[in-house]
Chain A
Amino acid sequence: MSFATIYRVFFKRNAVFVGTIFAAGFVFQPLFDSGITSWYEAHNKGKLWKDVKAQLQLVGDEEAADDE
């Protein structure tokens, strides 16, 4: 898509320009948030509550097995 086409489709009418910005903002919010969240969770794997909780449940199960 050439710049001329981009200009004609998205920039020429102000209503389309403003609408494109807001629509892109609406789509960008969840995409950016999910992207950052999945990076953060990959970076901190093993330290997150869901991982700690799984470990605690494992330990709890072992202790319960020892008691029997």
Chain B
Amino acid sequence: MVAYVSQLAFKTVPHFGKISTKNLASYAPNLMLWGGAWASCVAVYTSGWPIFQDTFYKKLPYFGSYWVKEVLPEDKQY
């Protein structure tokens, strides 16, 4: 019986381009922080957008009242 290794057995780590599960895991904390930065960027640029105001910003605990604009019916132009 032969008890030696005839050649090195190479195995390829599953990867997508240069991304493998291992380096994705090491990037994960930074990517999550970038996700937070992206979310606050979206919040800045959508803060003047009515559907976002109604869905999210009016419901914020302390600042929410800023987006609630009450105009009495007799003061409405149309």
Q: Which positions in A face B, CB cutoff 8 Å?
A: 13, 15-16, 18-19, 22-23, 25-27, 29-30, 33-34, 49, 53
CB interface residues, B 21-78, toward A, < 8 Å: 30, 33-34, 36-37, 40-41, 43-44, 47, 63, 66-67, 75
B29 to nearest A CB, angstroms? 9
A16-B37, A22-B44 given; name 12 further pairs at CB < 8 Å: A16-B33, A18-B37, A18-B41, A19-B34, A22-B41, A26-B47, A29-B44, A29-B47, A30-B66, A30-B67, A33-B66, A34-B66
Residues on A with beta carbons closer than 8 Å to the beta carbon of B40: 19, 22-23, 25-26
Chain A residue at minimal CB-CB distance from B66: A30
By DSSP majority rule, is chain A's interface helix, strand, loop, or mixed?
helix
Which B residues form the contact surface with A (CB < 8 A)? 30, 33-34, 36-37, 40-41, 43-44, 47, 63, 66-67, 75
